[in-house]
A and B are shown apart, each in its own frame.
Chain A
Amino acid sequence: MTPLTSSTLLRVPGESDESLETRQHALAKLADFAMPTGREEVWRYVDLDFDLEDFEVAVAAESIDERPPVPDSAGFALVVDGSVVAAESSDPNLTVGRATDRFESLIDPGQDIFTAAQAAHGAERVDVVVADGKAIESPIFIDVSASSEGASFPAVRIRVGKGSEATVALRLRSADDLPALVVPHVEGSLGDNSNLTVVVDQGWGRATRSIGQIVFSVGRDASLKTAEAGLGGALARWQLDIKLAGQGSNAKVVGAYFGDEEQILDYRYVMHHAAPNTHSEMFLKGAVEDEAGSVFTGMIRIDEIAQKTDAFQTNRNLILSDGASAQSVPNLEILANDVKCGHGSTVGQLDPEQRYYLMSRGLDRPSADRLQVRGFFEEALSRFPVPAIVEPLRGRFNEKFLRAQEEGRL
């Protein structure tokens, strides 16, 4: 194990001098950052109950014996504790590989202690490249796991060529009792007229903390779809930044999240309209029970140049227990004058009229509530792309609610 601020970084296999040097610079800068205090605007609603300094860099176990089953896929990558242990493609128009070279990231390393730490310790990444003008029919699966205590810095970079099409399914997981810290970075650039779909299954173990960033840049007339299911983690945060950079580009973002016990789920989503005629839609539904807390901070930013923008954001929350809390904070920053833009944000409880109606049909209260909650999530899950992934997700949302009922919390 290596302390996070150690003055020497180990070279990862295949890493060039230049790249190692870049990381060493980043490491030197890491010392300038302190843990967020909560006074910073971007950390305002989340209480970080740990110190990065308490973690050492995780080292992947020598051999990976459990290789998750891969459904029919065009490509596949396996990342363990930040190391890319497998990467392959079965489609000639698609590259899925391990990369260690220096690159120009869309994620600014100077944002905070976590981005700075990722710049220093994130030595390797999965590189997904789709050639111009090609449609990759089957999904590309990327499995990111944490297997040892300590901090890990997995990274995924996706580049979709002009006029191309691809779907990436990202799964995040760790054992329930693993007190790991993960700082995942995912970034993607969409060439003109391309389509990219990214589905994230956030299934971290109950003791794992994750502070992640997802950044996309969308080219002219290109379409991005993202979906995230947030089920795991002691603390799981995503900062999602989408820049609609090209004229006529659009993005659809959906999400469903469910926090139980003492889970903290924190979403900070920014939709940046930087070109005219761009469209965006965010639709997220979340529930919390027991003493769980969730935050959704959604920002729509419309540049002066981005006339004819059409942007909408919806965030609906269900509080299932008195001790649980959900915050929904919509923000609009509009500099253009000819736009359509709006938001809908609610925090509520189970509807007694629905409960009464269902119970009048003979369902007992737990069944009636389970059905109502299932319906609540269904409105988000039914918008998820990639049906093969959605079906098991439905089951996991149901099971989580059922477990809370069986353990007497609901």
Chain B
Amino acid sequence: MRNALVIKDLHASIGDLEILKGVDLEIPFGEVHALMGPNGSGKSTLSHVLMGKDDYTSSGSVLLDGEEIMGLGVDERARKGLFEAFQYPVEVPGVSLDDLVEEIGGAVGNGDFASRVAASTAQLGMGRFLKRPINEGLSGGEKKRSEMFQLALVQPKVAVLDEIDSGLDVDAVREVAGLVESSRSENLGVLVITHYSRILNYMKPDRIHVMIGGRIVRSGGREVADELEDTGYEALRAELGLVPVRDPLLDLP
């Protein structure tokens, strides 16, 4: 099976703080993988480093459909077929989603872009958001919906969905999971990043990876998520002999 994404020994740091400490991951085309991990373990950092955000110093290799993308600019990676759905979608005041859609069409609008816009607008009920400024004043769930909408427009080779389920009510989680499942194709590999196994109840991830402290410490099938659900990340840390990191919130007076 051809790999959509191959990550080898990926390291990333900000200043003196090393966040990713050697990540290895392979996602074949046609598969959906999940990445789980506690707060601060480096999941969003991984998606930003894949996308090429310049806040980080990074090393290692990332192959997108066999092609090295480390060293490329953010927009080049996007045009080569990488899509990141943001955990915190950025507000762009004064620019309507419509304007962005038009620009996306110019940048990566392959095939019949216009009819894809029409179909996705209808399917996701995006009509009422098109004239509004990007992400401004949108509810958490609406922002995630807008990210899924843009994903549908660009038809990437690899989609990294960073907490696409956070802030969603139960119906919306089911809907998003359904969208991810229905987007499965021979031309796409998906990485779904999540804290909770909730969204995984509505989809069939081919593999589940767990990241702790900037490394993938466990990979497996459905049972990995079930185990986490039962025992939590602390038990996994203990089992692996990792130093437990106390939740700083617990230390508050």
Contacts and interface: CB of A to CB of B under 8 A. Distances in A.
Interface string B48-90: 0001010000000000000000000111001100011010011
A371 B90 contact: no
Contacts of A371: 92, 95, 99-100, 103
A376 B84 CA distance: 25
Contact of B53 (A356, A363, A376): A356
Interface in B117-167: 133, 150, 154
Contacts of B93: 375-376, 379
Contacts of A356: 51, 53, 74, 90
Contact of B104 (A354, A363, A364): A363
Contacts of B83: 360
A383 B221 CA distance: 55
Contacts of A365: 73, 75
B50 to A, nearest CB: 10
A361 B92 contact: no
B111 interface: no
Contacts of B86: 357, 360
Contacts, number: 76
Given A356-B53, A361-B103, A362-B107, A372 B92 contact: yes
A367 B95 CA distance: 13
Contact of A360 (B51, B94, B103): B51
B75 A364 contact: yes
A382 interface: yes
Contacts of A367: 103, 106-107
Nearest to B105: A362
Interface string A372-393: 1011111100100000000000
B95 A378 contact: yes
A46 interface: no
B108 interface: yes
Contacts of A353: 90
Contacts of B84: 360
A376 B95 CA distance: 8
Contacts of A376: 93-94
A357 B89 contact: yes
Contact of B95 (A359, A360, A372): A372
Give chain A's interface secondary structure class.
helix
Interface residues of B, number: 27
A358 interface: yes
Interface in B16-73: 51, 53, 73
B191 to A, nearest CB: 15
A375 B92 contact: yes
B75 A359 contact: yes
A375 B108 contact: no
B92 A354 contact: yes
B103 A363 contact: yes
B94 A362 contact: no
A376 B104 CA distance: 19
A306 B106 CA distance: 54
Nearest to B79: A362
A361 B85 CA distance: 10
A363 B75 contact: yes
Given A353-B90, A375-B133, A361 B78 contact: yes
A52 B103 CA distance: 48
B60 to A, nearest CB: 20
Given A354-B90, A371-B100, A363 B107 contact: yes
A368 to B, nearest CB: 8
A182 B150 CA distance: 50
A403 B108 CA distance: 24
A372 B94 CA distance: 8
A360 B78 contact: yes
Nearest to A285: B94
Q: Most chain-A Cβ atoms within 10 A of its Cβ — which of B84, B89, B94?
A: B94
Contacts of A363: 75, 103-104, 107
A356 B103 CA distance: 15
Contacts of A359: 73-75, 78
A362 B106 CA distance: 9
Contacts of B89: 357
A379 B94 CA distance: 5
A219 B43 CA distance: 61
B253 to A, nearest CB: 33
14 contacts: A356-B74, A359-B74, A360-B74, A360-B83, A363-B103, A367-B107, A371-B95, A371-B100, A372-B92, A375-B92, A375-B133, A376-B94, A377-B94, A378-B95
